[in-house]
Amino acid sequence: MSWILLIEQTLNGLQFGVMLFLMAAGLTLIFGVMGLINLAHGSLYMVGAFAAAAVAAATGSFVLALVASLVAAAFAGVLIEVLVIRRLYDRDHLDQVLATFALILIFSEGTRWAFGSFPLFLDRPEYLAGTVTLPFGIEYSKYRLSLIGIGLLVAAGLFWMIMRTRIGIRIRAGENDREMIGALGVDISLLYTLIFALGAALAGFAGALIGAIQSVQVGMGEPVLILAFVVIVIGGIGSIKGALIGAVLVGLTDTLGRFLLPQIFGLVMTPSAATSVGSSLASMSIYILMAGVLLVRPKGLFGGA
């Protein structure tokens, strides 16, 4: 095992992490401000990817496809917020889990009905194809490097928005005291819709970005959804900072776990047994990480006291 390989794997973990962050940020904002568990967040990811694939096929432009993913996911977000989600803010978590579980069923089969059962094609733009050579002679995919950049940029933008802008102040106020911001004359239901649309747009954006190097298909949002939940739970629900750190932690654990665990077991076992045991453990690693974090800190790394 060379250091270069380890660095490359760390970059891969980072890239996976920042993409998870795009998903997790919306999820954690929505929970922090509205107190809502949204299982349908993965469906918004899927909506973004499908919208991007459809627009890319029609226009051939990746940038337009990304814009489409933002718009479509935000639109879908507003739609379900107005029709369904806003009735759930005052309900207990159980009702929220079930209602949004129902939304998953509707979204998945609805997308299949609209786009068919076969995966769609979405490709990275030609100018991001291929690799670049980083210091130490590491050859790394241009597109993945761009993903890391975009992800960090979005993260910085989010932090700026929350810390510096008027809407950010309202969001933070909303996290602390819901009645209070209502009393201060802020239009709560508009604020909630906006936050939900923002979270949805981020999810859709992530769907499009990832869709370009994966397969755009029905159900693609669910594995990501569960990972995003793991992320925000590790980070502490409601904390954007926690979401970022949790996302990177999960990204690194998963990537490096898949890479290192079979090798570690290889030191004490036969190669095939090590591959098998190591892979099994690697697929459980992030859940073990999450359970471990919660046992030490029952409200996540950056959760309230």
Among 46, 72, 233, 244, binds another protein (CB under 8 A): 233
In this structure, how many other beta carbons lie within 10 angstroms of the beta carbon of residue 114?
A: 9
| Cβ closest to another protein, residue 4 vs residue 156 | 4
Q: Which of 132, 144, 141, 137 is nearest to 4 (CA)?
A: 137
Under rule CB under 8 A, residue 21 binds another protein: no
CB–CB of 207/54 below 8 Å? no
- Interatomic CA distance for residues 209 and 205, integer angstroms: 6
Should residue 230 be labelled a site residue for another protein when binding is judged by CB under 8 A? yes
Q: With contact defined as beta carbons under 8 Å apart, do 206 and 51 qualify? A: no
Q: Name the CA radius of gyration of the chain, rounded.
A: 20
For residue 40, give the 3-state DSSP assignment.
coil
Among the listed ranges 10-18, 64-72, 154-162, 240-248, the one in contact with another protein (CB under 8 A) is: 10-18
Establish if 4 lies at the interface with another protein (CB under 8 A). yes
CA dist 32 → 1, 149, 172, 192, 206 (Å): 42, 26, 9, 11, 20
Residues 76-135 that bind another protein (CB under 8 A): 84, 87-88, 91, 93-95, 97-99, 101-106, 108-110, 112-113, 117-121, 123-124, 129-131
Query: Of 37 and 68, which CB lies nearer to another protein in the complex structure?
Result: 37
Q: Which of the stretches 65-73, 182-190, 201-209, 289-297 binds another protein when contact is defined by CB under 8 A?
A: 289-297
Q: Which stretch binds another protein (CB under 8 A): 61-69, 193-201, 239-247, 290-298?
A: 290-298
Residue number, 76 or 120, with CB nearest to another protein:
120
The stretch among 157-165, 185-193, 239-247, 282-290 that binds another protein (CB under 8 A) is 282-290
294 near another protein, judged by CB under 8 A: yes
Tokens 């999820």 correspond to what residue?
A: 27
Q: Whole-number minimum distance, CB 76 to another protein, in Å?
A: 15
Minimum CB separation of residue 163 from another protein in Å reads: 21
Task: Give the residue with the Cβ less far from another protein, 159 or 279.
Answer: 279
CB of 219 to another protein, least distance (A): 4
Interface with another protein includes 259 (CB under 8 A)? yes
